[in-house]
Amino acid sequence: MVGDPTELEILREAGGEHARAVLALSDDDSENAFVILAMHELGTEARKVAAVSSRKNLERVRRVRPDMILAAPVFGSEALAMALTEEKIDGEWLLSRFLDVKPSES
């Protein structure tokens, strides 16, 4: 399917209303945020994942409420700084920073 993933009609044609997950993984943080907003507008129960390339956009992307944020560049710089200062890096920290997962709602 070829089209603008921020357009509701394109998402409908692609089966977005029935998707189990939607991955917004463009290099453009704003496009990823708009894909997540469009999926919210469709009213789907699909898990929504957005990539964030720039630390300055992390909080803005969080505001569109994806279920998970893939923040590899942000994670990489933090992990490198911790390694250089010999801070302890454990698996839980790695996962929480690499995949910025929203808390589960009970």
Cβ-based burial of 32 (10 A; exposed 0-12, middle 13-18, buried ≥19): buried
**Which class for 90: exposed (0-12), middle (13-18), buried (19 or more C-beta within 10 A)?**
exposed
**Torsion over CA of 34, 24, 8 and 65, rounded to 10 degrees?**
-50
Q: At what angle do helices 72-84 and 91-98 cross, to 10 degrees?
A: 150
Q: Any idea which of 31-35, 50-54, 79-83 has the lowest mean pLDDT?
A: 79-83
Contact present, 71 and 105 (Cβ < 8 Å): no
List, for residues 37-55, the tens digit of each pLDDT value.
999 999 999 999 999 988 8
- What is the overall mean pLDDT for the chain? 84
Asked if residue 105 has pLDDT above 70, the reply is no
Task: Give residue 90's pLDDT.
Answer: 73
Average the pLDDT over 78-104 and give the result: 69
Higher-confidence position of 92 and 13: 13
Reported pTM:
0.74
Distance of alpha carbon 50 from alpha carbon 21, whole angstroms: 11
pLDDT > 50? residue 103: no
Provide the pLDDT for residue 100.
61
Q: Is 3.40.50.720 the CATH number for 8-71? A: yes
Band (pLDDT 50/70/90 cuts) for residue 84 is: confident
Q: What string of DSSP letters covers 8-50?
A: HHHHHHTTGGG-SEEEE--S-HHHHHHHHHHHHHHT---EEEE
